[in-house]
Structure 1
Amino acid sequence: MAEHSEESVLTEEIQQKPRGHDSSSSLSSGPDAEKPGPSPSVKVTPYRLFSRERPVHQVLGSGRTADVMLWRNKKISAGVLTGGTAIWALFELLGYHLLTLICQGLVLSLLIFFLWSKACTLINKSPPRIPEVNVSEEQAIKVASNMRNGMNRASGVLREMALGHDLKKFLAVIAVLWILSIVGSSVNFLTLIYITLMTLLTVPVLYEKYEDKIDASAEKAMTGIKQQYAVFDAKVLSMIRRRPPKAKKH
């Protein structure tokens, strides 16, 4: 009788449990319980050089300068490249001097316009129209204000680095200046300008064309640089930042 009463109690308890609970408990106790469900897709942002979030054309200003650097207008870009190469060859290969070129160019221009004006007077035609160039006070103030703001920002950055507030930027500027000093001792100023022009007309367009490959290589390089910097910071910079111990009072 006791066994019969126990079986009846168990039967009543099983009937009182909701079916959903049984199904969930059976699923949770099954072998598939340990397998997680499908995780929602997470959009991974690819690494971009200099942590940029905009296209290269927008980073360069989205104007005519960006169009020339990225060869959007091939005629203008080719003209700038050809003109820069001609000027560099004129001064470096032919040994011309800038002051001599400017003076002779002005003499030739004045002579052409003078003879043209006299010829028009003799044949009763209107003289050539030479456009007037007038720099307004507003434009001059705007240019001077932009130069002043740039100089103030540069002075502030140099002051912050000199006071040791930004150690990474300080080391980066020192490295860049050191590289420029080496380049400046090897080439003259005009050649340096020509190299800069060639760089601006080739590097951005090549980077835009092979953007994904360059960013992947840059990511690996930055990871290695960060690891090396962490070791350098732990062994050297931490000792520089460490304050000297205070002298004990007798």
Structure 2
Amino acid sequence: MAEHHGEHHKGESLMEKIAEKIHHRDSSSSSDSDTDDYKPSDSSLKSNVYRLFGRQQPVHKVLGGGKPADVLLWRDKKISAVVLGSVTAVWMLFEVFGYHLLTLICHLLILALSVLFLWSHASTFMNKSPPQFPEVLVPEGPVLEIASALSYEINRGLASIREIASGRDLKKFLAVIAGLWFFSILGSSCNFLTLFYLSFVLLHTLPVLYEKYEDHVDAFGEKAMIEIKKQYVVFEEKVLSKIPIGQQKDKKHA
């Protein structure tokens, strides 16, 4: 009877700790928002609504704006359909019909050279001067800009990997490990081209569906995040609190 009472008391203490942590996080976030000096308005009230992944801008701006965002959100249905249909045709050409990339490149070059050859020699039969083919040169400026942007993104990715591997943010570390493990399972079930095609299709369908039903999705996402936070607090109490991390070591040495 005493053991049962002890287990019941232990379970209640754990739930009290979870409730205190969640209440502390909510109160801290609300206190931070109270310290901001602004007048309440419709825009501020709208910004307080939970948005998926902490989004504060419209979906069109989140996707970069401009023509690419218009294509992803199907603002111009003809262009979006042509882009999705072209990628689908390429995927079917390689995956369904078993075409190879090198063979496709060679066949396209043969076709292009044949058309240009016939076009240049058709003037002898039509009594016209041969057409002058324009000289095509790759400009150096855009190539250097692309290389600079690519090197910057690679260096930023390496810095992020180094920061995650340091173990200072254990939550981010576990999230990255879980994401990589998920993609490793996904990659073992399909090849790279199929995975790229599925990602492309999702990129052309999920944003427009989210923009259409964002209120319902955000409400569901808020409930899911509350449940995830509860489970994470339990995991933190039982597992993570027993693992020494970099910040605790630094405090001890200090």
TM class by shorter chain equals 0.7 to 0.9
Distance (whole Å) between structure 2 residues aligned to residue 92 and residue 225 of structure 1: 39
CA contact (8 A) 1:69 1:204 kept: yes
- In structure 1, the residue corresponding to 2:53 is in which secondary structure? helix
Q: Within the alignment, does 1:208 sit opposite 2:229 as a pair?
A: no
- Report which of the two has the higher share of helix: 2
Residue of structure 2 aligned with 1:166, choices 157, 162, 169: 169
Q: Per the alignment, do residues 72 and 130 of structure 1 end up closer, same or farther by CA in structure 2, a change over 3 Å counting?
A: farther
Residue of structure 2 aligned with 1:73, choices 73, 76, 85: 76
Instruction: Tell me by how many angstroms 1:133 deviates.
Output: 3.5
Output the TM-score relative to the length of structure 2.
Answer: 0.76
- State the partner residue of 1:124: 127
- State the partner residue of 1:60: 63
Q: Within the alignment, does 1:220 sit opposite 2:226 as a pair?
A: no
Residue of structure 2 aligned with 1:232, choices 211, 227, 235: 235
Instruction: Tell me by how many angstroms 1:126 deviates.
Output: 4.7
Distance (whole Å) between structure 1 residues aligned to residue 165 and residue 132 of structure 2: 55
> What is the aligned-residue identity percentage?
59
Distance (whole Å) between structure 1 residues aligned to residue 129 and residue 62 of structure 2: 48
Q: Within the alignment, does 1:136 sit opposite 2:143 as a pair?
A: no
- State the partner residue of 2:54: 51
Instruction: Tell me by how many angstroms 1:120 deviates.
Output: 2.2
Distance (whole Å) between structure 2 residues aligned to residue 147 and residue 132 of structure 1: 28
After TM superposition, what 4+ stretches of structure 1 lie above 2 angstroms from structure 2?
40-44, 124-137, 241-244
Output the TM-score relative to the length of structure 1.
Answer: 0.77
Match of 2:94, as an amino acid?
Answer: F
CA contact (8 A) 1:69 1:200 kept: yes
Distance (whole Å) between structure 1 residues aligned to residue 88 and residue 134 of structure 2: 29
Distance (whole Å) between structure 2 residues aligned to residue 147 and residue 112 of structure 1: 36
Distance (whole Å) between structure 2 residues aligned to residue 169 and residue 230 of structure 1: 15
Instruction: Tell me by how many angstroms 1:167 deviates.
Output: 1.5
- State the partner residue of 1:193: 196
Q: Within the alignment, does 1:107 sit opposite 2:113 as a pair?
A: no
Q: Per the alignment, do residues 91 and 239 of structure 1 end up closer, same or farther by CA in structure 2, a change over 3 Å counting?
A: same
Distance (whole Å) between structure 1 residues aligned to residue 229 and residue 156 of structure 2: 28
Distance (whole Å) between structure 1 residues aligned to residue 228 and residue 148 of structure 2: 39
Distance (whole Å) between structure 1 residues aligned to residue 132 and residue 84 of structure 2: 30
- State the partner residue of 2:4: none
Cα distance per residue 1:168-225 (max 9 Å; x no partner): 2211111111111111111111101110110011000000000000000000000000
Greater gyration radius: 1
Q: Per the alignment, do residues 227 and 74 of structure 1 end up closer, same or farther by CA in structure 2, a change over 3 Å counting?
A: same
Distance (whole Å) between structure 2 residues aligned to residue 113 and residue 58 of structure 1: 43
Q: Per the alignment, do residues 122 and 176 of structure 1 end up closer, same or farther by CA in structure 2, a change over 3 Å counting?
A: same
Distance (whole Å) between structure 2 residues aligned to residue 129 and residue 213 of structure 1: 59
Give the superposed CA RMSD: 2.0
Cα distance per residue 1:111-160 (max 9 Å; x no partner): 11111110024323354565544222221211111011001100000001
Residue of structure 1 aligned with 2:160, choices 157, 161, 171: 157
Unaligned stretches of 5+ in structure 1?
A: 1-39, 245-250
Unaligned stretches of 5+ in structure 2?
A: 1-39, 250-254
Size of the aligned set, in residue pairs, is: 205
